[in-house]
Amino acid sequence: MNETQIAGMAQDFLPPGKGGSQIPYYGARGLNSGVLLMNLTWMRRMDFSNEMRLIYVGYKKRIKLADQDLLNIYFHFHPRYKKRIKLADQDLLNIYFHFHPQWLYFLPCEFNYGTHFCHCYFDKPGTCCCRNGESLGIAVLHGSGKQFHSNKNKSFEQIYDTFAK
């Protein structure tokens, strides 16, 4: 990340609109917030932590998932999208980086790898959704949607069981 990038995120595996959201997205498929890098140096310079503290004080009785809820509140700057937001933090970050792409460090797909890349539901048959994962190796496995406990890909379940021991 450089000095101006506030976050690092990878491309989402679902094309925009497939998840039900009708908001501006970053790039062709939007971003996935499952793996989110944050540039804390940049945030400190812009006094991000003080702003988060003020938001927390104002909303602490309603905040259940502090980190996710604080991001949702902070990035909720476009009221006209309020009723169309389905995936909370992910949708809000997509809106934000749609309008401010210069502040995003785009992570390659091998840093947010899930079973969806093994099946390639939305790409042409016979193509892989994450060629870097195949050629360079997988850097981060993302276990959203019970991917580590599903019959779709036994290898993910075996990896989970190995780390759980």
pLDDT digit string (tens) for 132-160?
877 888 888 887 777 777 776 777 788 88
Weakest-pLDDT range from 52-56, 111-115, 118-122, 135-139: 118-122
Express each pLDDT in 16-63 by its tens digit.
Answer: 555 545 567 788 778 888 888 988 888 778 776 666 566 556 655 654
Name the packing angle between helices 66-74 and 48-59 (round to 10°): 110
Q: Which stretch, 37-46, 83-92, 99-108, has highest mean pLDDT?
A: 99-108
Taking the C-alpha atoms of residue 120 and residue 126, their distance in angstroms, rounded to an integer, is 8
User: 43-49, long-range: CB within 8 Å, 24+ apart, which pairs?
Assistant: 43/6
CB–CB of 14/122 below 8 Å? yes
CA 81 to chain CA centroid, Å, is: 18
Q: Tokens in use for 82? A: 């309020």
Taking the C-alpha atoms of residue 108 and residue 11, their distance in angstroms, rounded to an integer, is 8
Task: Identify the pLDDT of residue 135.
Answer: 83
Task: Identify the pLDDT of residue 128.
Answer: 57
Q: Tokens in use for 31? A: 């971003």
Taking the C-alpha atoms of residue 71 and residue 91, their distance in angstroms, rounded to an integer, is 11
CB–CB of 14/86 below 8 Å? no
Look up the pTM and report it. Answer: 0.64
Nearest CA among 3, 5, 1, 2 for reference residue 93: 5
